[in-house]
Chains A and B, each alone.
Chain A
Amino acid sequence: GDSVTQMEGPVTLSEEAFLTINCTYTATGYPSLFWYVQYPGEGLQLLLKATKADDKGSNKGFEATYRKETTSFHLEKGSVQVSDSAVYFCALTVRGNFNKFYFGSGTKLNVKP
């Protein structure tokens, strides 16, 4: 079936450190890939997306590249800030599968000053 696996957290970093959160997927068809962010007590906000292989999604200094050969969509940021502290979810939707969204279990990021 369709699923997403992401690295377990929490991830604790100092401000200005480099961030990588790993995400791999399995899909029965051709997926679109997403990263969502959730701040405490809030719903999910779309952070970035990529809809075809080799696309790079980017937003607010975060990037992720859709790698079909490794079925991965790792999230990176060169220099994290305290305000980036949140839970990050990798997600996919498969074209033609009525487009349900499948989410990973989330990775909590704590950034310390």
Chain B
Amino acid sequence: DTGVSQDPRHKITKRGQNVTFRCDPISEHNRLYWYRQTLGQGPEFLTYFQNEAQLEKSRLLSDRFSAERPKGSFSTLEIQRTEQGDSAMYLCASSLALGLGMNTEAFFGQGTRLTVV
């Protein structure tokens, strides 16, 4: 399967602990996105990368959140000092940026469900 893969699928952590999630995009895709989804809501944009450059961060992304995409391949999303409000599904997606500002559709991974207790 050559889709977007995320690891782990589920994470339960105690409040105050740090967690890190990994996303492996479709190999030829140069854009990678992180979204957060809470129950009953649509995905909310967190941040995205074009190759290894992080081009935009949402105001939703507090200083406790950091994302990296070394070498423009896989990406990690780290949450420090987790809070109960961080409990959500974290979705990764990738797409291929074409010329003239065009973009293919986003392909999503299955998500990492975080529960902070």
Q: Which residues of A contact B (CB under 8 A)?
A: 4, 32, 34, 36, 41-46, 49, 89, 91, 93, 95-96, 98-106
Main secondary structure of the interface of B (DSSP, over half): strand
**Are A42 and B110 touching (Cβ within 8 A)?**
yes
CB distance from A75 to the nearest CB of B (A): 14
**Are B109 and A98 touching (Cβ within 8 A)?**
no
CB distance from B21 to the nearest CB of A (A): 13
Closest chain B residue, CB of each to CB of A105:
B42
User: Binary interface profile of B, 90-103, with partner A (CB < 8 Å = 1, else 0)?
Assistant: 01010101001111
**Are B31 and A99 touching (Cβ within 8 A)?**
yes
Instruction: Tell me the number of A-to-B contacts counted with CB atoms below 8 Å.
Output: 65
Select which of B40, B100, B107 is within 8 A of A106 by beta carbon.
B40
List, in ascending order, chain B residues with CB within 8 A of A103's CB: 35, 42-44
Q: Which residues of B contact A (CB under 8 A)?
A: 4, 6, 31, 33, 35, 40-45, 48, 50, 55-56, 91, 93, 95, 97, 100-103, 105-111
Q: List 18 A-B contacts (CB under 8 A).
A: A36-B108, A42-B110, A42-B111, A43-B6, A43-B91, A43-B108, A44-B108, A98-B50, A98-B55, A98-B56, A99-B31, A99-B97, A99-B101, A100-B56, A101-B33, A102-B45, A103-B42, A106-B40
CB distance from B82 to the nearest CB of A (A): 22
List, in ascending order, chain A residues with CB within 8 A of B107's CB: 46
Select which of B41, B45, B48, B110 is within 8 A of A43 by beta carbon.
B110
